[in-house]
Structure formats: C-alpha cells, structure tokens
Chain A
Amino acid sequence: MVMAERVSVTTFRTDVFNNWCPGCGDFGILSALQMSLAELNLQPHKVAVFSGIGCSGKLPHYVNVYGIHTLHGRVLPFAIGAKLANPELTVIAVGGDGDGLGIGAGHFLNSGRRNVDILYIIHNNGVYGLTKGQASPTLRRGMKTKSLPRENINDAINPIAAAIVAGYTFVARGYAYDTKHLKDLIKRGIEHKGMAFIDVLQPCPTYNDIHTKEWYGGEDRKDPATGKPVPRIYKLESVGYDGEVRNESEVTEKMSRAIMKSFEMGDNIPIGVFYSNPLVPTYEERIGAFAPNYANFPPAVQPIRNLAYRPVAKIDDILEEFAVK
C-alpha cells in the first residue's frame, strides 16, 4: 500500500486562471472547500468534485482533485453514479441555485430519497450570473435585482425546507464570506454518513445588488449605541439550536423545528446545521442488504475478465432457469 502523503491547502490548488468576478462569493466557497479537504487530510486522487453549469460550475477546474464539470442541473446524477460505482471516493457536488433548484430540481428532490453518501453544495446568490443576472429560484417575489426589467414574479423556493422534506440527512446553511464557519460545515458534510446538503448564501457582486456583502453584514442598520453594523447573519449554535437526531423518536420533531427555523429570513438569517440524522441507512447500505459484498467489492474494483480477456461472470445458473426440459 502507498503511504498517504501529507496534504495542505496548496495541494488542492491548480494553476488554472480563475475568471470569476472580483469579489465573487465563489472564492469563499472555493477556499473553504480546499481548507476542508486539507484538514481532513484527504488524498487528492481519492476525491472527485462534480459541478453543474454556471459560474459555480467552473469550481472543479480550480481544485486539484478529479474534477468533473457536468451539465446544467445534472450534477447530482453524475456524482451519484460515480459514488455508487466506487463508494471509496469522496464525492462532492457543487452547483448554483438555478442549477440545483430550477433546471435540476427533480434530481435535487429525488437525491434526498436515496441518501447516497455524498455532499452537495449550492452556491445561492439569487441570480443566474453567467447569463447576466436573471432571477433564480431563490430570489424572493417582488425583488428587482440589477438586470431584471421588473420585479421578480415568482415566489422563492426554500432550499433548506425542500432538502429536509426530500430526505437529506444533513442540512446546513453557510455564508460564503465566513469561510472558517463554512469550512467546518463542509468538513461535517463530508464526514456525515449519507446525503449532505449545504446551502451557501453568496453575494453576486455583479448582478445581485440587493443581497450584497454589505446587506448581509448589516451595514444599513447600525446599532445606535455602538455605531456598529448589526449583521443579518447569525449562527444557530449561538442561540443553542441543536438539529441533530440522536434517536428515531426525535425525527419528526427535529425535522419540523428545522423547517420552521428555515423560514427565518430577512433581517435575521441563521447559518449552521439545521438538521442532521445519521440514523438513516445510506443507499450503499441498502444495496448491501441484498448484495452483501457490495461494500468491499463494488463495481469499480470488480474484475470482469481473466488474464486471457475472457468474461469471468458465470451465467449458467441464470440460463438454467430458462432451460427447456
């Protein structure tokens, strides 16, 4: 066996020119991800980052691990396929809010039903950046960001509530400019056994002129006493919120509480872990229930031919069922 090599944040950097806009929240997510991989001491070749389309879709090119930049809205099926073929891989999927909750909404919901052991991060900035700022599914009705001709006509989806209802077993929200907090969430998401989801609030400095860094930071509402801004973002752990399920009987209650909490939006925006339930069997464990050696002998490590290139699967037993007697 090859000894694991020491890794650091630089291990996970590439020399590809990064063409995100200056000040983009994507940078925070990228560096939080790289820090998480380094702190978890993961070997780069054992990690695969998948992405959808859009600005966030470019993220894998900036990370020195297997990087698979897929199709608009389709990041989860690609990522799930790879993970089920080789569960030993650490698989992380990233994509935008339009990618995951608009065009890819069907995959977002159905992935929750499976609880495959991967992490999905949504870069949530309320707009379709790369196509010049159209409203995304997380932009609230009545909002008029910079490039919209009129106020947004659709209601917003609540990604946290949607994820919980869909069955994700680790549901958290981070903020792109609090990279240390986000890094800790990503680490927990990777280590969580099952399908983890992190909704990352992220200013788009070019097209979202409402949910700016200053807005999240509360620059517009200074404390009259201190003269300091009162940030809109606060941490769930700071108010003693605990979303972890420790036994089956708590599931409904914790789910309901997390969903209620997720509707807190506007002047107070909680970040942190809304809900976590490690008790649900993963899809991999469910396969193991009928294919007991799947865990140790998944598709990616199975030999399919012998040294003479002949097939090694025996089909005689199956054929026998159809034999004419």
Chain B
Amino acid sequence: MMDLKQRSSPKFCWMIGGSQGSGVDSAANAYAYTIASAGYNVFGKREYYSNIKGEHSYFTVVASNGNVRSVLEEIHMLVTFDAETVFRHAFNVLPGGGVIYDQSQVEEKLRNIHTLEPPVVKRVSEVLGKEASDVRLKDVLNYVEGKKVKLYPIPYSDLLKRVGDLIGQQQLSFLTRLVNIMAVAASLSIMDVDLRYLQAALEYTFRGKKKVVGMNMTAAQTIHEYVRGSFTSFLDYKLPQVTPNNRDVFIMNGTTVVGIAKIASGCRFQTYYPITPASDESVFLEDKAVFPLNSDVEYEYPHIAEGKYVGKEGNIVVVQAEDEIAAIDMAVGASLAGVRAATATSGPGFSLMMEGLGWAGMNEVPVVVTLYQRGGPSTGLPTRHEQGDMLFTIHAGHGEFPRIVLASGDMEEAFYDTIKAFNYAERYQMPVIHLLDKSIANSTITLRRPSLDNVIIERGLWADGELANGGKTFKRYEYTESGLSPRVALGTKGGIFWATGDEHDELGHITEDPTIRDAMMEKRMRKIELADSEIPVEEKISVYGDRSSDKWIVSWGSTKGPILDAMEELTGIRDDLAFLQVRLLHPFPSAPIIEILRNARMIIDIEQNYSGQLGQLMRMRTSIAPTHHILKYNGRPFSMSELVVALQDVISNGTKRVVCKGE
C-alpha cells in the first residue's frame, strides 16, 4: 500500500453524495464523528441546493493526523447510493482510490437524471467521448476503473432484505432509511476503520435513540461482513497512523460555535428571521435558552437589578421576528434596556437592516450583527459560499456613523471574536458587524475545548450609581474628549434620557442647530478613532510565515484555512511566502499593514469574490494595492488543492488574476 500523496500532513479525503432528504448529512456527520473518535482531526464541507428534497447534495470530509482546515479537490473514497453522485464526482477520485456504488444502478442513463445541470451532462459526455444520450453509469465506472480507481459494487437491496430479517422489519420504505449508514459502514470497512467508533458516532448522531442506533449497527455489521467477504483489493491509500487517546475535542459546525460563544459572552437577547445559512445559530440558541450560571463566584449585577432575585440559571430570549427590519430593531430595543443583544442574518437580511443599523449608530447603541455571508447579489446562491459583503458592511447605511467590522478566519476565531464583538459594541457604544460566511457556518470540524480563562467581559462606560435625582438633567450624549458618554439602561432611576434618529443634543432631544450638529458628529466619529487607537494590533491582524518576506498573501475571513493548508503543502517549495490575515476590517488597521507590506514585492490578494474587496479597501486606506489576485466566486470555498496550483501559477508565471473554479 502507498502512503497518502506526499503531504506535509497526510490527508484523506472522503466524500458522500445523494439526493437531498436521503440522509447525506447525517451519514457524513456520523462518518466525521467516527473518524474523530478514531483519533483524527477532520474538516467537513457541506454543499447543498436551496431545495428540501430531490436535488443533489454532497459532503466532503478530510481526515488528518495533523492540521486540516480545508477540503481537497481529489477524493480517496467516494461513497454513493445513487447514480447522480457517481456521474458528478467519480472523475475526481484518485487512482488507487475507490468508489462505492449501488450495483443495481449500473444501467442508469445520464439523460434520465433530471437534476444534473446541462454543463455537467456536457462535461461527462465529453470526457467519455460519447453522445450524452448514450451514456450509462457503467460507462463512467469503466472509465474510472481504467484510471486505476477501485470499484466497490454493493447490492444494497439484497443487503437491506438481510438486515430486515435480522431486525424483524421488512417494510422497504423503512429499511431504505438505513442505506446511508450502510454506505458509511462500507467505506469504513474498506478503509479498515474499526466499527466500534461508528457505534459512538451513531449514539451521537441519533442522540441516544437506542433502537435506531441498534438497527443501524445491525445494518453496518451486515454490510461490513459483505465487504470483507466480497472484496480482496482495498484502497492504495491508508489513513495515517494515530493513537486514539482521550482528546478533549468537540465536533461542531460554525453556527453552533458562535451560539455557544454568545451564551458565554452574556448575550441575553437574540433575534432572527429565517435565512440560510444563519438561522441554524438562532435555532440552536432557542434550544439552549436556559443554561446554568457559575454559582461559586460573586456576580457583578446590572444597576437595575439591585435587590432583585438572582437565578441559578440564566436565560436568553430568542425572538423569531417578522422580518430582518424587526429583528435588528428589537435587538436595539433590548440593548437600550441594558442587555447584550444580537441578531444573526445573511446578506439579503442584512440589506433590510440598514435603517436600524444607522439608528443604532446615531444613538450610540451597542448591537451585534452576526453576518453569515452567502453568494449574492440578491438571493444569489442562497446555500453557497461567498465573501461578497465586506465592503457593504463597512459602508452600510446612509449617512456617516461609526461601526466596527471584524471577520473570523475559522471556528476557533469565531468563538473568541463573538465575545470580542460584544466587548467592542459596549465599549465603543456602536453597532458591530461580525463577518462570517457559509463555509464557517456549515463546515464541520474537530475543535479543541474553547477556554474562557482569558476571556474578559468589557461592558464599557456606565453612569450607574452616580446619577443625580433630578431625572431631567442626565446627559446621555454628553460631549467628552473620547467621544464616549456614560450610558444607562432604560428603567434606571435618575437616568431618563431621550433617543432619536434625528440629530440631537446632549439630552437626546431633536436639534438642527449647526454647531450642535458639528459637535455631535465629531463626538460620534471620535469613537472610531478611539477604537482604532485602543484595539491591540494582535486583534487587528495575524501574520503567518516569515515577516521579512517580500512575497505576501493578503486575505480575510474563512480563506484562512485553505491558505494555511496550501502554505503548509508548499513547505520546501515556497518557504518564502508569508500571509497577512486582516481580522479587523473597520476601522482599518492601516498603520500595521503599511509597516508589514512596505517592502513587499508581490502582494497576492486571495478572496472569495469577484472584485477583490480587501484589495480595494487596502488601496483606499493605505495606498498599497495588491499586485496579483486569486479569486473565486462560483459559490464553493477554495480547496487547498486549487489554491496550491493557483499560487504556483501566480508566483512562477506571474499570472495577474487567477479565478478558481473548483467544486
């Protein structure tokens, strides 16, 4: 057997596909958990259509004994139980890799698969050199077999009957629900992974439903025996060796990570309107609405809570609003009452929030918008990935008001950035937009235990306890040197104030006086200068690789994973490459970026959008422009593989603009 392709950290790429609603997701999750349980790090990418049932979805899971932060283009093990998945993905299977398929479908015709788009049909028939109307599944299988791909035909329906006998259930509609896990089990047998890890995964996937776990294990065992009895040649690739130990790791996706961070951060009010891919986070929070509080510490109470009952459990109010306009406005209302409040949305929803965002800016109300970007414009690619909204967030809303925009590169960053977003919002009394995306939302990874040891909750300036009794004199928008005025929560004695979207005086009453206008505008805008001067540089940017390099990658957000994986892959070939990740997009960290890029000869801007938005912003804020671009806007995140090729193309051939096309 061969080792995995020579990689600095060997990676094994597994893919499952099928029609939506057929259990592709739970199968992939079960697989990812199994592999994690066996001791590997995993990175899983979920691709799906904006559709409930019928369209094709697929899930790629890369396992490694080292770092894994992105997917590969090439597949070691392709797991299928329908013909469409084979038509679409079999050509990406490596020589020496394998395809599991339903042997009863080999006669299936390409043209009978109505969910295949014309470009896919054209591509398949061109590769095979046949008329599209003549292509059958067996043609694809023969073709890839010719490329040294190993074939694993499975008689699913016979095996299901056998399973049915074992569990005393012969109804076919019931038994087919077991097919997805059987397919996973077949792959595990081929890959020589012990089925006991699958048992743990099923208990996780089916949340302790013992009967369901038992039936799926019976199905898994049955197919395992079939695979071991029927095939003698297994893959040319072996998972790298690991020693299973008691790792303190978790398997999660981005929306869960952010949800948990919100609870930790003290967010106690969240609103949303259903939208892909953001709503999973809010639904998760709805589910976890009540949580325990640390009972062995002394709390710092909000001012208005003095003398009140203190619960042993905290709660978060999650409101499903009638639209995103209501969503942000409700969050702002809750924030006025002194609560850490947030809303989670995606591009189209964020578009609706502009007016509320501006109101929060004008009235200096802390609010966090968690923005999961997806393919735009308009409804765009509702279930696909893009980094197309960054410049929009920086300029969102009419008029000028301060806001902070930060972007997380991966799930670990997303956890701490979520908490940071609330700290920024309260400290600088302004809206904060936390940029995430579909890739972070829907990827599945093994994550180390997030630690709260170094987490500080910063609530900013409050006037509590120093209020005069008059009630008519509290200046909520008092002019100060920093621009920050102490605030109070609605309900605070002595703190009565007014708020209005109109320009206002220190009390919050409407004014159109030009001198007050100047003073208030300047007061608000000073806060962004303050944020720029106070936020530590390590929260603004991250640098990877050799700081003295003259070849730099610049990027932001979830491209971090594929970039770091590609750099690791290029170890020994392109050791002189350095990577500047911009984490704070607004206020833009011009000074440290100028310092770093001053002597750069080559600046490669890598982004998942058409126009290279970071490059534009950098040019505007620093006068330094990227020299090269690697971009992608087909709705699928960069794979490590294509980024390696693109980087080589840029560096060796000097190609100015590479557009990646990988699926």
Contacts and interface: CB of A to CB of B under 8 A. Distances in A.
Contacts of B492: 45
A165 interface: no
A107 B322 contact: yes
B553 to A, nearest CB: 32
B294 A297 contact: no
Interface stretch (B6-14, B65-73, B244-252, B428-436): B244-252
B226 to A, nearest CB: 28
A297 B500 CA distance: 29
B445 to A, nearest CB: 11
B268 A299 contact: yes
B458 A300 contact: no
B307 interface: yes
Contact of A77 (B329, B495, B499): B329
A80 B308 contact: no
Contacts of A318: 260, 263, 288, 291
A48 interface: yes
Contacts of B249: 323-324
A239 interface: no
A306 B298 contact: yes
Contacts of B316: 299
B251 to A, nearest CB: 5
Interface stretch (A25-33, A204-212, A309-317): A309-317
A86 B457 contact: no
Contacts of A64: 471-472, 496
A70 B337 contact: no
A239 B133 CA distance: 80
A307 B334 contact: no
B268 A304 contact: yes
Contact of A309 (B251, B291, B315, B456): B456
Contacts, number: 286
Given A81-B334, A324-B33, A89 B498 contact: no
A111 to B, nearest CB: 8
B325 A81 contact: no
B268 A84 contact: no
Interface stretch (A185-193, A246-254, A272-280, A288-296): A288-296
B301 interface: yes
B289 A291 contact: yes
A238 interface: no
Contact of B315 (A66, A294, A311): A294
Contacts of A46: 491
30 contacts: A48-B336, A60-B498, A67-B508, A69-B502, A71-B329, A71-B356, A76-B326, A78-B329, A78-B330, A78-B333, A81-B319, A83-B333, A85-B333, A85-B339, A88-B491, A293-B311, A300-B337, A300-B338, A301-B305, A302-B268, A303-B293, A304-B340, A305-B299, A305-B459, A310-B457, A312-B294, A318-B291, A319-B260, A322-B252, A324-B250
A161 interface: no
A139 to B, nearest CB: 25
A16 B509 contact: yes
Nearest to B454: A310
B465 interface: no
Contact of A325 (B200, B289, B335, B337): B200
Contact of B489 (A43, A69, A70, A86): A86
Interface size class of B (residues with CB under 8 A): 35 or more
Interface in B150-182: none
Interface in B321-369: 321-323, 325-327, 329-341, 355-356, 359
A117 to B, nearest CB: 14
Contact of B509 (A61, A107, A293, A300): A61
A61 B500 contact: yes
B127 interface: no
Interface residues of A, number: 73
A312 B256 contact: no
Interface in A247-279: none
A109 B323 CA distance: 12
- Give the residue among A53, A66, A86, A107 with the most B Cβ atoms within 10 A: A66
Nearest to B327: A77
Interface in B351-410: 355-356, 359
A76 B356 CA distance: 13
Interface string B519-531: 0000000000000
A222 to B, nearest CB: 43
Given A45-B471, A77-B329, A303-B301, A86 B491 contact: yes
A303 B266 CA distance: 8
A66 B326 CA distance: 21
Contact of B304 (A79, A86, A106, A290): A86
A150 to B, nearest CB: 31
Give the 4 A-B CB pairs with smallest separation, nearest first.
Answer: A81-B333, A304-B266, A303-B299, A81-B330
B449 interface: yes
Nearest to B508: A67
A162 to B, nearest CB: 15
A225 interface: no
A60 B500 CA distance: 10
A21 interface: no
A14 B472 contact: yes
A322 B251 contact: yes
A173 interface: no
A89 B300 contact: no
A323 B321 CA distance: 32
Nearest to B316: A299
A279 B352 CA distance: 35
Nearest to B307: A1
Contacts of A307: 297-300
A107 B337 contact: no
A74 B356 contact: yes
B260 to A, nearest CB: 5
A308 B452 CA distance: 13
Nearest to B284: A318
Given A298-B315, A303-B305, 11 more contacts: A67-B497, A70-B329, A74-B329, A294-B315, A303-B310, A304-B266, A306-B294, A307-B297, A308-B297, A310-B457, A312-B297
Given A46-B491, A306-B298, A70 B359 contact: yes
B501 interface: yes
A278 to B, nearest CB: 23
A301 to B, nearest CB: 4
A324 B247 contact: yes
A67 B299 contact: no
Given A66-B497, A301-B301, A310-B455, A71 B266 contact: no
Contact of A296 (B311, B450, B510): B311
Given A77-B321, A314-B292, A2 B493 contact: yes
Interface in A41-78: 43-46, 48, 50, 53, 58, 60-61, 64-71, 74, 76-78
A185 to B, nearest CB: 25
Contact of B271 (A65, A81, A312, A313): A81
Contacts of B290: 290-291
Contacts of B4: none
Nearest to B266: A304
B266 A89 contact: no
Contacts of A43: 493
Contacts of A70: 329, 359, 501
A110 interface: yes
Contacts of B37: 324-325
Contact of B256 (A68, A78, A322): A322
A83 B307 CA distance: 20
B507 to A, nearest CB: 9
B441 to A, nearest CB: 16
A110 B323 CA distance: 10
A156 interface: no
B36 interface: yes
A309 to B, nearest CB: 5
A65 B250 contact: no
Nearest to A43: B493
A27 to B, nearest CB: 18
B39 to A, nearest CB: 9
